[in-house]
Structure 1
Amino acid sequence: MGKVGRFACILTPMLLTLASLICIVIVMIGQSPWKGNDAPGTELGRDLYFFKADTSGFTSNPDNIVSDVANDLNIDNELLQALQGAASSNDLKDFYQVGLWSYCSGDKKDGKETITYCSSRKFNFWFDPLTVWDLKDTNLQQVLGDKMQKGLDAYKKVASWMTWAFVIALILTAVEFVIGFFAIFSRWGSLVTTIVSTAQTLFMVAAAITATAMYGALAGVFESVLKPYKIEASLGSKMLSVLWIGVAFSIASGFFWLISVCCCSGKSPHKKVVVEKTPYTYERVSSPAFGGQQAQHTGYAGGAAGHGTSGTAYEPFRQQHV
């Protein structure tokens, strides 16, 4: 029963660790460049993104947009003309969705979005709208102002750290799951697994906080600078939900790994009692003084001592050293 109880105690953190691992993998496949729209996981991956820029308000009819906002004091004509040129040359798509390794873009028609392109995976990926919209060689950087440029520079720097945090969290989660099997046999295994789980949780939480704050700031920059041009930005609620659920699983698994260190030793509750012999024991011997008539004289019968006629009131013993 001890081993069965130990296994039941370890099963809960093992399942929580596996759930956390699945969440990290789901986050990593978001906006992946699948081969063909019918590839496994395509629908799931396309619905998951950290950040989305919706430019359909501008691309739907850029000429009308120019006329509508021409008198707006917040509009920069040079930026407006650059965006109009990008839309006319099809360099500006209707929407852009940003994942951990890549981004996807596509068209919107009658409210339905269709992804037409996904960039190749890149380790230290960050979404540069000036490059993507083919506006890198223009004066747009000066037109966008310091706020936009500082926001993009900060995003580029933090994106590298965030990618490493996710990769390390993934590796530690896999190691935690493998080492967890050894915790079935020993509480020392639980201790080692708890240490790995603690490190995994730290990187998981750091990655989640970084992603949420970074893309939240990026969406804010897009909204403040590009909203007058009918370009909207938003965070991916599905992606962040999966990410933070993975964090919850990670914290819970670490708690239960710690519990398994203190409880559920796996040893049987029944202990075998060993009685040791005393160094000196005594055993009854026949009396040479009374011979075979001892039982009659002493009245001993069936293991009980009575009162004999000889007056002997004791039984002789011999001492044996063991």
Structure 2
Amino acid sequence: MALPGFRKRRSTNTSVADGSAKDGASAENDATIKRLTKTRRNVALISSFCYLLAFVFLVLVEIGNTKGTKVLGDIYFFKLNLANIIPQSAPSLTLMNSIARTLGLHDFYQVGLWNFCEGYEDEGITFCSTPTNLWWFNPVEILKNELFAGASIPLPNQVNEILNLLHIASNIMFGFFLASTILDFLMIFIAPIVLYSRWWSMPVGILSFIAFILATVAAAIGTAMSLIFKYALTSQSDLNIQAEVGMKMLAFMWIAVGFTFVSFVIHSGLCCCCTSRRDVRTGRRGGQNMPAASMEEKPKMGSKLPSFGRNSSKS
């Protein structure tokens, strides 16, 4: 009758001891995993921070020139200065202010991603068009709509030749900028998932590469479009049209591309470098430094039960 009681007390004490050992081993395992994956965690956080910065600069590109404020009004792709443009209908007209005003035009027009703004040199921006999806800048249509009746301006042939290409390029740039902005925002929260396994680095790296390509192509189109307009409109010296490229817009675009590229390089390296949680748990990297896990305790428990049974039978 004493044996069952002895067996019962021993099993209870053993289970409590095993539970305490498992908890201690689990806590020690977690500490070891955190220590061994510290480098990967820090690098993943750096990539998320780079995505955050890229997202901020892409947002500035998106909202640039949408309003005539001091900050947003200075962010544009290019700016046309027509204050001293030479009209074909009145080449010898004596003007009080600028030639553009007498024709019904504004002194300058500046182009953003969603719309255009216009204004006068002494007043600043006086009007911005309503932001529109897939908007593109058509200088011929805008200038013709604002000219007074009977007035006309001899635009260079280069402008008319690139309008169709400009339409297509503007739509591609608009879509790519919007897609890269959304993707960079999502990657801020997706990037840390690579901490758990190196297998996650491949799909995350593919998304990072897509975000980089979208931002790069959009920035390249915006830069090319601004430079083409500048040289096409200023090539006619007798027309006296001045054009300038928005350096702030170009800087914001390429800074966003740079941060996205850094994140892509990081995720490419994480495919084969830095220990992940899965590497530690499977023993591929750093597993030999981990304390005994609960899986190693199961054979010990199984080996004790038969021997305990043999001892009870002999007694």
Aligned letter for 1:57? N
Residue 88, structure 1, aligned to residue 102, structure 2: yes
Residue 209, structure 1, aligned to residue 220, structure 2: yes
Aligned letter for 1:149? N
The offset of 1:234, in angstroms, is 1.6
1:18: which partner in 2?
A: 52
1:142-177 residue CA offsets vs partner (Å, 9 max, x unmatched)? 953532210223212211111111122122212322
Distance 1:219-1:45 versus aligned 2 partners, 3 A rule: same
The counterpart of 2:138, out of the listed 103, 112, 128, is 128
Distance 1:190-1:139 versus aligned 2 partners, 3 A rule: farther
1:98: which partner in 2?
A: 111
The offset of 1:2, in angstroms, is 2.9
For the residue of structure 1 that corresponds to 2:207, the secondary structure is helix
Structure with more of its chain in helix, by fraction: 2
Distance 1:97-1:144 versus aligned 2 partners, 3 A rule: closer
The offset of 1:229, in angstroms, is 3.0
Aligned letter for 2:111? V
Distance 1:48-1:247 versus aligned 2 partners, 3 A rule: same
Aligned letter for 1:224? S
Distance 1:143-1:95 versus aligned 2 partners, 3 A rule: closer
The offset of 1:122, in angstroms, is 1.2
The offset of 1:17, in angstroms, is 1.2
Question: Is contact 1:152–1:218 with CA below 8 Å preserved after alignment?
Answer: no
Q: How do residues 203-242 of structure 1 correspond to structure 2 at under 5 angstroms?
A: 203-225=214-236, 227-242=237-252
Aligned letter for 2:107? D
Aligned letter for 1:31? N
Structure with more of its chain in strand, by fraction: 1
Aligned letter for 2:76? Y
1:235-271 residue CA offsets vs partner (Å, 9 max, x unmatched)? 1111101111111111111001122222222345323
Q: How do residues 269-308 of structure 1 correspond to structure 2 at under 5 angstroms?
A: 269=286, 270-272=289-291
Residue 8, structure 1, aligned to residue 54, structure 2: no
The counterpart of 2:206, out of the listed 195, 199, 210, is 195
Distance 1:3-1:43 versus aligned 2 partners, 3 A rule: farther
For the residue of structure 2 that corresponds to 1:123, the secondary structure is coil
2:311: which partner in 1?
A: none
Q: TM-score, normalised by structure 1?
A: 0.68
1:170: which partner in 2?
A: 181
For the pair shown, the structure with the greater C-alpha radius of gyration is 1
For the residue of structure 1 that corresponds to 2:200, the secondary structure is helix
1:161: which partner in 2?
A: 172
For the residue of structure 2 that corresponds to 1:96, the secondary structure is strand
Q: Aligned equivalents of 1:122 and 1:220: distance in 2?
A: 27
Q: Aligned equivalents of 1:184 and 1:152: distance in 2?
A: 48
1:197-227 residue CA offsets vs partner (Å, 9 max, x unmatched)? 01111111111111111221112111124x4
Q: TM-score, normalised by structure 2?
A: 0.69
Distance 1:133-1:141 versus aligned 2 partners, 3 A rule: closer
For the residue of structure 1 that corresponds to 2:80, the secondary structure is strand
Aligned residues: 249
1:49: which partner in 2?
A: 76
1:283: which partner in 2?
A: none
Of residues 243-252 and 255-264 in structure 1, the stretch that sits farther from structure 2 once superposed is 255-264
The offset of 1:95, in angstroms, is 1.0
Q: Aligned equivalents of 1:118 and 1:14: distance in 2?
A: 35
Structure 1: unaligned runs, 5 residues or longer: 71-82, 278-322
1:259: which partner in 2?
A: 269
The counterpart of 2:120, out of the listed 100, 103, 107, is 107
Q: Aligned equivalents of 2:152 and 2:101: distance in 1?
A: 18
